[in-house]
């Protein structure tokens, strides 16, 4: 994403009414199947040090990429983090600004379709943004409920940074949804995103993890990275009948495949 727009990406996640943003919105992605079959799960992740972002390669100021994911002042950020912590149990990303790109990236082009052969997923990719109160939109009930969605304020797949896709795990009415089997993915699996310019961005799964929504690693999932990455999110874990939500999120971390390495 162009620095002029990507610099606004994380700001959108931590300001104003965004206390109910991303992960709380993802918390809506799934309705208990009750007596129906259970979605595949991965072990709950507590120690996330093995997925720590690349070391910071430059300082956190300046122009150009230095503005990528730029946040508010310390005082503003503290207030925003308090809002996020109250909702998702994780602090907002502190802003890490890469000085180089370690893998090839692609020019901006919005995603059109998603293919994950290992779990038989082929989906049109719709776009979601934020609701009027700052919550993350999710695919609405209706004919497009079972489609994957791209968060339009994140980089497009193949651009520098973490492109964010999300989707439902199930519905009480229709059973398994687009990402019901997301927990089956393993490192090395391939994910292909066909883009509006007809190019295909192919990603390799680095890791699949499950995080409690009370201990969600916001920085790890949405924070700045020095390569073209992909994040795919859905619900996971046990279903809490008292709240109507799953307790965890499943997150797939993937990196753009260097075309020269096939």
Domains and CATH numbers, the chain: 3-261 (2.40.260.10)
pLDDT value for 69? 26
Report the C-alpha gap between 178 and 122 in whole angstroms: 8
- Encoding tokens for residue 53? 């972002």
Instruction: Assign 237 to helix, strand or coil.
Output: strand
Q: What is the mean pLDDT of each run of 10 residues along the chain (262 residues)?
A: 40 36 46 54 58 33 24 34 34 38 85 99 96 82 94 96 95 90 97 98 97 91 94 93 89 90 66
Q: What is the pLDDT of residues 107-130, one digit of tens each?
A: 999 999 999 999 999 999 999 998
- Residue 93 is predicted with a pLDDT of 40
The structure tokens listed for 32 are 């208990």
> Please, which residues have CB within 8 angstroms of residue 262's CB and are 6 or more apart in sequence?
none
């Amino acid at each position: 994403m162009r620095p002029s727009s990507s610099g606004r990406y994380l700001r959108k996640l931590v300001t104003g009414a965004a206390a109910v943003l991303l992960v709380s919105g993802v918390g809506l992605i799934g309705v208990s199947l009750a007596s129906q079959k259970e979605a595949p799960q991965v072990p709950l992740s507590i120690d996330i040090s093995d997925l720590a972002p690349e070391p910071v390669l430059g300082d956190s100021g300046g122009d150009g990429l230095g503005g990528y994911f730029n946040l508010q002042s310390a005082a503003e950020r503290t207030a925003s983090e308090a809002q996020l912590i109250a909702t998702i149990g994780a602090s907002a990303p502190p802003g890490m600004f890469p000085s180089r790109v370690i893998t090839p990236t692609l020019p901006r082009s919005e995603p059109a379709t998603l293919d994950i052969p290992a779990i038989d997923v082929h989906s049109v990719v719709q776009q979601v943004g934020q609701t009027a109160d700052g919550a993350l939109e999710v695919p609405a009930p209706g004919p497009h409920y079972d489609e994957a969605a791209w968060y339009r304020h994140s980089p497009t797949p193949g651009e520098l940074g973490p492109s964010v896709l999300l989707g439902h795990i199930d519905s009480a009415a229709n059973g398994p949804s687009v990402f019901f089997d997301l927990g089956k993915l393993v490192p090395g699996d391939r994910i292909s995103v066909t883009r509006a310019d007809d190019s295909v961005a192919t990603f390799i799964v680095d890791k699949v993890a499950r995080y409690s929504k009370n201990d969600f690693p916001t920085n790890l999932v949405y924070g700045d990275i020095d390569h073209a990455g992909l994040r795919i999110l859905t619900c996971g874990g046990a279903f809490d009948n008292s709240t109507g939500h799953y307790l965890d999120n499943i997150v797939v971390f993937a990196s753009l495949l260097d075309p020269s390495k096939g």
